[in-house]
Amino acid sequence: MAIKKLGKQTVQFKNPPTIISTATIVGPKEGEGPLRSYFDRILTDDLYGENSWELAESKMLRETVKAAIEKGDKKISDMEYMLAGDLLNQLMSTSFAARDLGIPFLGIYGACSNMAESLSLGSMLIDGEYADYLVAVTSSHYSSAERQYRFPLELGNQRSLSAQWTVTGSGAAILASKGKGPKITHITTGKVIDLGIKDVNNMGAAMAPAAVDTIVTHFKDTGFKPEDYDLIVTGDLASVGKEIAQDMIGDVGYDMSKVYNDCGLLIFDNEKQDTHAGGSGCGCSATVFCGYIYKEMKKRNLNKVLLVSTGALLSTTSSQQGQSIPGIAHAVRIVNDV
């Protein structure tokens, strides 16, 4: 009997895991954005002293994990699992970081939904009493993502207005079976939803239906309403996707307009920073959650948050073969103790 299951896709934890600490490292551009004061470390050079963008991303992820563990007053050896993933082929940046860290490692891939996916799985491990401490982490890097998914950096082409800017950044959260801090009480695991969008320059529109499906399912499964949250935040739908998601959820009968925002819009000032539609990438929801949201929760300016990281499950092969872009979204409910 799955006694912790609630409705179709939601789990309610019996012993809600605590997020005892988080850490973030971001690139220079993110460090010029509106959330700059929330990040632990802002790189001045996004090559981070390494020889390639991929290694720089890996180092960023590794150092973020170390920083999060340190802030939680723990040691690397206290960590029983590391749940992590990134956007690069075969999870290069996480696997190489895991090699250096020596924490038992479970690699995951949910594209930019990685943060919520690792928090979900981590919470189940903790609530299931399989571990007392673990780290959930993910990263993305503008330059490593560009060369894998799009064009070389020096190519003189134009980005379309619906295109998003991959966040250079990594966010890590330490989950514990006990301790002080915001707790994860529910998770809603999303289904892959694809409404046939093929435009790789319009990821927000491709992922919005998945976010809508997961959020609506979360409301139905738990009985919560938008009013039960201080903030419902999607991962990287950016300006186009956010509007679509808000409209579509409105059509189902939930008015989220007062509490809804998107990490891709929070992290950059689209006008000033010329990011077009907004931020994207695993690092987008990871740094916004582990930086801004977690710190605001600690200050008790936010108390009830639904983090819905969104992922576009395409590959360069699938889009070259003319396939549409499948989307996914996972929801994690995080609350402060009252």
Please report, as ranges, the residues that interact with another protein according to CB under 8 A.
27-29, 32, 46-47, 51-52, 142-143, 147, 151-162, 195-197, 199, 202, 205, 209, 240, 243-244, 277
CB of 164 to another protein, least distance (A): 12
Measured at the CA of 64, the angle between CA 133 and CA 47, to 5 degrees, comes to: 155
136: Cα separation from own chain's centroid: 10
φ, ψ at 182 (rounded to 5°) = -60, 145
- The smaller minimum CB distance to another protein, of residues 37 and 52, is found at 52
For another protein, the closer CB: 159 or 191: 159
C-beta of 32: minimal distance to another protein in Å?
Answer: 8
Residue 33 or 85: the one with the smaller Cβ distance to another protein is: 33
- Pick between residue 195 and residue 252 the one whose CB is nearest to another protein: 195
Q: Which is nearer to another protein, 27 or 122 (CB)?
A: 27
Which tokens in the block code for residue 139? 């990263």
The least CB distance from residue 168 to another protein, in Å, is 8
Phi then psi for residue 230, to 5 deg, are: -85, -30
- Considering the complex, what minimum distance in angstroms separates the CB of residue 318 from another protein? 16
In whole angstroms, the minimum distance from the beta carbon of 109 to another protein comes to 23
What are all long-range contacts of 224-230, with beta carbons under 8 Å and residues at least 24 apart?
224/333, 225/254, 226/254, 226/255, 226/256, 226/258, 226/259, 226/260, 227/259, 228/304, 229/259, 229/304, 229/305, 229/306, 230/259, 230/302, 230/303, 230/304, 230/305
